[in-house]
Structure 1
Amino acid sequence: MSRDQHRAAGVRSGTPFAARSAVELRRVTRVFGSGNAGVAALDDVSLSCPTGSWTAIMGPSGSGKSTLLHCAAGLDRVTRGQVLLAGNDITAAPDDVLTALRRHTIGFVFQGFNLIGSLTAEQNVAFPAKLAGARVSRDEVRRVLAGVGLADRARHRPRELSGGQQQRVALARAMLSRPAVLFADEPTGALDSGSARTVLELLRTMVTAAGQSVVMVTHDPAVAARADAVVFLADGRIVDRVDAPTVRDVAERLARWEG
């Protein structure tokens, strides 16, 4: 199914969730520091990511990409504005509510992997679900690992895996709970070209076949072009957007704002 067909199917579904944005930022500002020393990492940002879509975030270093991702996922508090995640206003949500959302509604793939060194790959994948009190079968864990090409690495610990393999374990961990929204910070940054293609195909399947939503930070125009839309940040503000992007579209616009 093409991206346009998938969008049309989502509109026709008529479900309440399908009509909402997966992620919505309303005039969000995030300031680090205070007084004259305060720095606005995000400055009056408004963004809507439709349910069942894949949005890529791009921009120069220091433009606020990771801050936007963290605020949208409830990992960081905004200074001003409003954040809605899967229909829930999380702007001032208490920590226990945010914890529940992170366990059951979202997945997050960190740039630094965040694996536990003493656990095997399959134990790392299952750990968040078990922490939330969910029952996870070994077969399901191994199915997810196989999906990212690591069926033969289930019993290996992080120190026995390459950086790219660790990144795929982190992705499998985020995918296990079939989250409504998957946030990913440079998910292909440590991968070789073959592994990157595998990961991108998995993300597209999550969106097209399962109706999940992906919000991803990347610096790679070829990766961003796999998304449904690309949003460009500069100096904490959204400065451009392209829908149904091509690699050329993305590269030209990125060069404009990085120049």
Structure 2
Amino acid sequence: MTQAIAIGDQAGTATAVELRSVTREYGSGQARVRALDGVSIGFPAGSWTAVMGPSGSGKSTLLHCAAGLEQCTSGQVTLAGHDITAASDDRLTTLRRGTVGFVFQSFNLVGSLTAEQNVALPIRLAGQRVSKKDVRAVLAEVGLGERLRHRPRELSGGQQQRVAIARAMAMRPSVLFADEPTGALDSHSARTVLGLLRRMVETIGQTIVMVTHDPVAAAAADSVVFLSDGRIVDRLAHPSAREVADRLAALEG
């Protein structure tokens, strides 16, 4: 069964990411598990979509397939205008470096590097010249212009996550994929990070696809998509945290 959902209501809005009839299976024979079951969905450019669902619903698999971290078993994935369904590992690596940014629950910063060096790292790995001016500008954008030379151990959890976001944005990606970006943060730091993501959407038109289990985080997005058993079962536009929590409780019940 295929579900087709387009996030956003504006006619003519460009689609940053699109999955068409995507299935993702693991294992074989009787041990085969279908994590995604014929999912079709489009994420418009300049939108922020939260993906939610019970444990094992397929939300992280959806993110991984959309970002090219995993290949789907069947179906088609288009990312920033590129069909990545059958792309080689080398092609995917090149595309991700220039098109995609990632933010995870664990900040994944290099402990021996300063904030400035951590942000510059993906630029160096892509073989490009590092502009200190640009690196410092992106750190200033996330409110860490005075923390350039601080190492991760000298920063709070919220500050480390903001460095991770700055690092993801250093290449000016078409799409920012976030997997539980506030999961390791206290409520104050989480609000700061969510506010930063909102400003990115509103000021530079950043496209964000975010997996979260937190109704408050999900309510900060433009739309929330709900998965269950590998299928899209609902979508809410501009919901309150209570609406998100109630819908998630119904799925888990």
| TM-score, length basis structure 2 | 0.90
Deviation at 1:101, TM superposition (A): 1.6
Give the alignment partner of residue 208 of structure 2, picking from 205, 214, 217.
214
Partner Cα distance (1:141, 1:102) in 2: 19
Structure-2 separation of matches of 1:114 and 1:33? 29
Alignment of 1:64-213 (within 5 A): 64-213=58-207
1:228 to 216, 222, 226: 222
- The structural deviation recorded for 1:187 is 1.1
- Is the CA contact 1:20–1:87 (under 8 Å) kept in the aligned structure 2? no
User: Contact 1:51–1:213 at 8 Å: present in 2 too?
Assistant: yes
Provide, for residues 200-238 of structure 1, a one-character-per-residue CA deviation record: whole Å limited to 9, x for no partner: 222122222212210001111111111111000112111
Q: Which residue of 2 aligns with 1:21?
A: 15
Q: Unpaired runs of 5+ in structure 2?
A: 1-7
Aligned in 2, Cα 1:33/1:162: closer, same or farther, shift over 3 Å?
farther
Q: State the distance in 2 between where 1:173 and 1:198 align.
A: 17
Identity of aligned residues (%): 71
1:33 matched to 2:31? The reply is: no
The answer as to whether partners of 1:167 and 1:190 remain within 8 angstroms in 2 is: no
Aligned residues: 246
CA RMSD of aligned residues (A): 1.9
Residue 3 of structure 2 is matched in structure 1 by none
When normalised by structure 1's length, the TM-score is: 0.88
8 Å CA contact 1:221, 1:251 repeated in 2? yes
> Distance between the aligned counterparts of 2:128 and 2:56, measured in 1?
38
5+ residue gaps, structure 1: 1-6, 12-17
2:143 and 2:180 map into 1 onto residues whose CA distance is 18
Q: Which moved more, 1:197-206 or 1:48-57?
A: 197-206
Distance across 1 between alignment mates of 2:147 and 2:28: 47
List per-residue Cα deviations over 1:147-199 (Å, max 9, x = no partner).
33333432233344343332222111101222111000111112233322222
CA distance in 1, matches of 2:95, 2:104: 17
